[in-house]
């Protein structure tokens, strides 16, 4: 790995990103022409300290996941993405591994939904990106690290969530997540990252083994459903949660909406405004 060239490339590409294109508010006192380190770190899901060391050439051997996250946050094209992997001493992921690439066409779709809560997951239910409205409604995601970014692990570990489930709904939801993960494992049997995730789930989530052994991937789990969100400032709201699957890229795009003109729509809009204001402050 050429650590200095890698860091230089990241800094150069960070400086050229217009903050508003990635959902970052400009603010009245902003002087940086591109993204600040803390903003790129938040978009990438790594710490500011680690990003600083990468940019200064003091950290070597970033993982393929970190390089992919940087390429995604920096909006790199295919050639630049391949160059970033090359500078990291890695080969760009090929067939046989779970895709984590957000293609330009998918990114354009996300840009069109910039005022709607949207999160994108890969086929293992690992969070790739979430926009500002999503964080405003569901809670901050930029501080999540490693396993915290995996939806299966977060749910089975019982971490705090703003989604309200009945016990029956929660059981069905967990079963659906694990069944979908098992289907993913059948498509990517040689992906080492996926195998590590399954090992971690077995070791850390007591319910996972039974759910895995009893999973029926053939079951049609509903991808469109109502979710009750208990927001700390605006109260409870019932939203439609639709999970759109990008077949070719094997991504899951989770979109939250409300019936126009409804009380839930008003609360959703207020939550987004309050969240955006808190991020600016």
Same domain, 138 and 248: yes
Task: Give the count of domains, the chain.
Answer: 2
- CATH number of domain containing 153: 3.30.450.180
Predicted confidence band of residue 5 (pLDDT cuts 50, 70, 90): very high
Residue 97 in any domain: the answer is no
pLDDT in tens, 31-75: 667 888 988 988 888 889 999 999 999 988 898 889 988 998 899
Q: Domain residues for 164? A: 104-280
Predicted confidence band of residue 25 (pLDDT cuts 50, 70, 90): low
- CATH number of domain containing 53: 1.10.260.40
- Specify the pTM: 0.82
Same domain, 117 and 66: no
Q: What's the distance, CA 53 to chain centroid? A: 23
Same domain, 71 and 208: no
pLDDT in tens, 170-224: 999 999 999 999 999 999 999 999 999 999 999 999 999 999 999 876 665 555 5
Same domain, 63 and 136: no
DSSP string of 172-228? HHHHHHHHHHHHHHHH-TT-HHHHHHHHHHHHH-TTHHHHHHT--TTS---SEEEEE
Residue 99 in any domain: the answer is no
Residues above pLDDT 70, as percent of the chain: 92
Residue 153 contacts by C-beta under 8 Å, 6 or more apart in sequence? 147, 197, 200, 201, 204, 205
- CB-based contact 272:137 (threshold 8 Å): yes
Average pLDDT over the chain, rounded to whole?
Answer: 89
Residue 94 in any domain: the answer is no
Give Rg (Cα) of the chain.
Answer: 19
Residue 200 in any domain: the answer is yes
The token pair at 78 is 């295919």
Residue 66 in any domain: the answer is yes
């Amino acid at each position: 790995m050429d650590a200095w060239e890698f860091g230089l490339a990241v800094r150069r590409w960070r400086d050229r990103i217009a903050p508003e294109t990635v959902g970052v508010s400009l603010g009245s006192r902003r002087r940086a022409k591109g993204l600040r380190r803390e903003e790129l770190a938040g978009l990438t899901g790594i710490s500011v300290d680690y990003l600083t060391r990468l940019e200064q050439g003091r950290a070597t051997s970033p993982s393929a996941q970190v390089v992919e996250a940087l390429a995604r946050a920096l909006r790199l094209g295919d050639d630049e993405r391949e160059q970033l992997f090359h500078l990291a001493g890695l080969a760009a992921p090929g067939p046989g591994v779970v895709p984590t690439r957000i293609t330009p066409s998918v990114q354009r779709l996300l840009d069109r939904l910039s005022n709607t809560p949207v999160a994108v997951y890969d086929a293992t239910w690992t969070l790739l990106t979430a926009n500002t409205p999503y964080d405003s409604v569901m809670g901050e995601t930029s501080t999540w690290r490693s396993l915290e970014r995996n939806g299966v692990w977060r749910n089975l570990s019982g971490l705090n969530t703003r989604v309200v489930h009945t016990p029956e709904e929660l059981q069905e939801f967990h079963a659906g997540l694990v069944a979908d993960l098992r289907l993913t494992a059948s498509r990517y049997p040689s992906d080492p990252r996926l195998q590590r995730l399954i090992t971690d789930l077995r070791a850390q989530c007591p319910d996972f083994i039974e759910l895995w052994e009893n999973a029926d991937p053939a079951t049609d789990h509903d991808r469109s459903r109502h979710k009750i969100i208990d927001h700390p400032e605006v109260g409870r709201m019932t939203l439609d949660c639709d999970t759109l699957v990008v077949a070719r890229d094997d991504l899951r795009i989770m979109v939250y909406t409300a019936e126009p003109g409804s009380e839930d729509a008003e609360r959703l809009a207020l939550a987004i405004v309050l969240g955006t204001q808190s991020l600016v402050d």
